[in-house]
Structures are given as C-alpha cells and as structure tokens.
Amino acid sequence: MKYSFPREMIRSELEDIVGQHFVSVEETDRLVYSTDWSWMPQMWLDRGERLPMPDYIVHPGSAEEISEIMDIANKYHLPVVPWGGGSGTQGGALPMFGGILLDMKRMNKIIEIDEVSLTVTAQAGINGQQLEWALNEKGLTLPHYAASAKCATLGGYLAPRGTGTISTKYGKAEDMVMSMQIVLPTGEIIRTPPVPQHAAGPDWTRLWLGAEGTLGVITEATMRVEYIPESRLLRAVLFDDLSKALEAGRRMMTRRLHPFVIRLYDPASTKTRVKAILGYDFDGAYMVLGFDGDPDIAALEEEKALEMCAELGGRDLGPEPGWKWWNHRYDFYYPPINLKLPWMYGTTETITTYDKIEKLYWAEKKAVEEGFAEWNVRFIGHFSHWFHWGVMLYSRFIIEEPPQDAREALRLHNRIWNTAMQAVLANGGMINEHHGIGLKLGRYMRKQYGDAWPFLLRLKKMIDPNGIMNPGKVGF
Ligand SMILES: Cc1cc2nc3c(=O)[nH]c(=O)nc-3n(C[C@H](O)[C@H](O)[C@H](O)COP(=O)(O)OP(=O)(O)OC[C@H]3O[C@@H](n4cnc5c(N)ncnc54)[C@H](O)[C@@H]3O)c2cc1C
C-alpha cells in the first residue's frame, strides 16, 4: 500500500490552509523533528533506536492559519506541538504522540520597533540573534542574553520562561513581555493587555508564560528593550569558601546594587569547566561580576561590590579574568567543550531563597554523588540569576562512561534525576528555574504544587477541552 487514505486526506486539508510547500510528511524531515537538545532522545537515537515522529510538519505563516489548523486538530483529535528552534533541553517540543508539528520559524517578521517607549513587536518564530541584530542597528538590545540565542526563537524564550546571562539586572524573558498574541487550542486569536502593569483584573497574561505550548501558541510578542549600555565593567573575584561567596552575592542584591551578572562557580566547576574553557587553574570559588550603564555609576557600584567581597575574604583578580569569561561565556555550551555524547549528563537547575540555597546545594550534591558513586558521577554547579530574595543553582551531573544499552541508560538517567529532584523538593527548591518542565519533569508537578495541581489541571481542561496542545508536557 503506497498511501494511507487518512494521512493524505488530512495532509491535503493542511495544504489548503498553508500551501503545499509548507507541509511535509517526508520521513527524513519527520526524523529531524523527533529530537530536540535533550539528552534522552539524543541518546536514544545515538543507540540506533527510533523515536516518535510527527505525522505532519507544518510551517504556518500567520495566526489565522494556526487558528484553522486548530480546527483540523480538534476535528481529527490530533496533537499540535509548537516548535521554535528545537533548542529546548527538557523534551518540551518532542512530538510524543505524533500529530501536527508547527514549526514557527516562518513567522519571523519584526512588526514594529518603538524607539520612544523602547519596545519591539515581532512574530514569535523570529530567531533570537536576528532580532538582536535588528535592534542593535538602532542602538537597542533585548536584554535576554540566552546562550541559545543563535538557535532559539522569541516564542521559545517565553514559553518555558527562559533566563539569560544578564538577568540579574534586566530580568527573565517573562519580565520583558509587554503583551502577546496567542492562538488558543480552540482556535480563537486573543491579545493580552497592551501593558503589563495595571489593575484591570488578574494578570492572566502570565498563564502562557511557562505553559510550554500546552495552552496555545504564542504568535506575536511585544517586548521591552533597552539602550545598549554606555559602559560595561567586568571583574573576577576568587573565594576560598563557597559559603562566603554566596553571602557576598546576597549582600550585593539585598543592598540593592545592580550587577548585570554575578556568576559564581562552585569549586568543582572552577577546577574543571573554568579551567578547560578559560585556562585558569584556580582552587576555590570563581566569581564573575559585571556592572553596566553610566560609567560613573557602574564604577561606583563595582567598587562597592568589591568592598563587600573583600570583607568576606574574596580576592580581587582584576578585570582581565572577568572580560575573558564575558568573551567566552557561550563557549561553555558549544563544541568542542560542551557536555555531549557519549557522556551522560543532565542540568537539574533549581531556585530557592537565600536562607535555603546553600543547604539545598550540598543536599543535592551529596544525594547524587553518594547515590551513584559506582558510576563515578560528578556533580558541579554555578550560581547565576540572582534576585533580591534568592538565587538560581545551575547544577549538573556528568557520567563519562554510562551504560551502552539504551534502556539501561534511560533508567539510570531517570533515577539520577529523580534523586536530584527529591533533594530539591525536600530542601524548598523549585523543580526548575529556566529550562522548563517539558517531558522530563512533568512527573514532579503534582508534588511541586500539592493541592494547587488539580486547579491547574482544571484550567488546562477549560482552555484545551480536547487535550490537543502538546500532550504529555508540563505534567498535563
Ligand atoms: C546550547 C544551549 C544553550 C542554552 N542556553 C539557555 C539560556 O541561556 N537560557 C535559557 O533560558 N535557556 C537556554 N537553553 C534552553 C533553550 O534553548 C531555551 O529554553 C530556548 O529559549 C528555547 O527556544 P526554542 O525556540 O529553541 O524552543 P523549542 O525548543 O523549540 O521549544 C521549547 C518549548 O516551547 C514551546 N514553544 C516554542 N515556541 C512556541 C510558541 N511560539 N508558542 C508556544 N509554545 C512554544 C515548545 O512546544 C516547547 O515546549 C539553552 C539550550 C541550548 C541547547
């Protein structure tokens, strides 16, 4: 049998909406869209196994087209999975149950740059780097400096509530949103209020930030942008003691300095990742500090921050090791130095308040290292994305010689994640800070939210009555 009747029927209906060139059912395309950047599916493919593939890859050109695609999906009960750049690391864009994969990259237009209010309105499929280049031409910048900017999209920044390198001063991607256009699973095209701060009822805009495509498709967003800063100062400080370094960061934030970055590597990361990428062989906890804006204010803030570090035993290493980090900040995530197969690894990042963060770090490290000692697991971390009340821990586990059998490797990976997440939850952490929940962490949502979880399930049912949107993700 050459053709399947239902598949050809639905394909032709999709082609009527977007045009023949913008629908693919080719085996090679379907294979490409069967994995994102998560370790699990990549390992699965690496071991010669097959993954679930989408039935149709559709490249929509407008919100109206997506609305019509929703009609088809509801009629035939097909899953719809939004796909931005596919750079997600939690399996959020994996087409677990086949269906329609919406590749958003054709919707890549900049609609307006408002140089008075400092906003940009763009379609959600625009590539992060392309958007940044266009803003830079006008002396502006979107201050969401994700290490994945070259391969991620605006919608992909917002859907999992991403966080970029300079978030400590400028906020998470979600903090930059003014308003969004969204296509609901029922096909309605809605717009959230034009400004984020008001008192016209509850802030329902935020429902779609963190929904990871389970409550609809973000098709357009207006984002707050900034002037490119007049000056930037980078500096590095070395602490013998991680605890004192954490306290220095806490003091800077609670006393309302405005560093655009505080990146604090634990001694294990300092000795391995920092050494491999920047070439410094330090013992202790390496901290990078950055201040920007008006040169006088930035210099004064840097001076105050260095005083706070010195009070706690931090040794000023000067600007050079700070700038070297800044210039190589994304190298940590790309070949040849990134974590990659055949290693097993996972980023179990979390966030909590200052009173709990250190205990959480040690508890997670102990649980992972002692629980999986026979695999020579390494646990490393850095603290980035600092708030007035707490800080994010970017923790990772690494096994250099994992099991070769795909099923055994999958089980071990899940067991380590489970151990890490139990330690996080038992110590007051959130199961994620910026990569999202995706497929990987859905099983912890009930535990994370307790009695609030059934309420979230009811919201999902109300917004997506047929359960078509990105099934199996975010615990839905
Ligand atoms: C090398 C590397 C570095 C990274 N660095 C960072 C970093 O610094 N900060 C950070 O936050 N993350 C980082 N990530 C994780 C990831 O890249 C980001 O979350 C990124 O923003 C995802 O964007 P994307 O367009 O690739 O989304 P995808 O991976 O395509 O999708 C992610 C999720 O969002 C949903 N989605 C995508 N577009 C839409 C839309 N328009 N409407 C509704 N739902 C949608 C998908 O269904 C999926 O659930 C990194 C990843 C890699 C591989």
| 95 Cβ below 6 A of ligand 1 | no
Distance 283 CA to ligand 1 centre (A): 34
Q: Which residue has the higher pLDDT, 1 or 78?
A: 78
Count the helices and strands in the chain (H runs, E runs).
16, 19
Q: How confident is the model over 286-308, as a mean pLDDT?
A: 98
Domains of the chain: 5-105 (3.30.43.10), 106-227 (3.30.465.10), 231-333 (3.30.70.3450), 344-440 (3.30.300.330)
Ligand 1 atom, smallest distance to 172 CA:
11
Q: Is the pLDDT of residue 1 over 60?
A: no
- What's the pLDDT tens digit per position in 163-202? 999 999 999 999 999 999 999 999 999 999 999 999 999 9
The secondary element (H helix, E strand) that includes residue 233 is strand 231-239
Q: How confident is the model over 141-150, as a mean pLDDT?
A: 98
Q: Is the pLDDT of residue 420 over 80?
A: yes
pTM over 0.95: yes
- The values of phi and psi at residue 167, to 5°, are -65, -25
Buried b (16+ CB within 10 A) or exposed e, 411-445: ebbeebbebbbbbbbebebebbbbbbbbbbbbebb
| 157 Cβ below 6 A of ligand 1 | yes
Q: Is the pLDDT of residue 8 over 80?
A: yes
- What's the pLDDT tens digit per position in 444-470? 999 999 999 999 999 999 999 999 999
Q: How confident is the model over 27-43, as a mean pLDDT?
A: 96
| Residue of 66, 67, 89 with the most ligand 1 atoms within 8 Å of its CB, for mutation | 89
Distance 127 CA to ligand 1 centre (A): 11
Give the separation between CA 418 and CA 413, rounded to whole angstroms: 9
Average pLDDT, the chain: 97
- Dihedral of CA atoms 163, 166, 172, 176 in degrees, nearest 10, equals -130
Distance 259 CA to ligand 1 centre (A): 25
Q: Work out the pLDDT band at 119, boundaries 50, 70, 90.
A: very high
∠ Cα 93 95 100 (to 5°): 105
- What's the pLDDT tens digit per position in 206-251? 999 999 999 999 999 999 999 999 999 999 999 999 999 999 999 9
pLDDT at 2: 66
Distance 157 CA to ligand 1 centre (A): 6
Q: How confident is the model over 91-118, as a mean pLDDT?
A: 98
Q: Work out the pLDDT band at 403, boundaries 50, 70, 90.
A: very high
**C-alpha pair distances (Å), 207 with each of 162, 203, 232, 239:** 15, 8, 35, 41
Q: How confident is the model over 160-165, as a mean pLDDT?
A: 98
Reference 391, options 429, 365, 445; nearest CA is 429
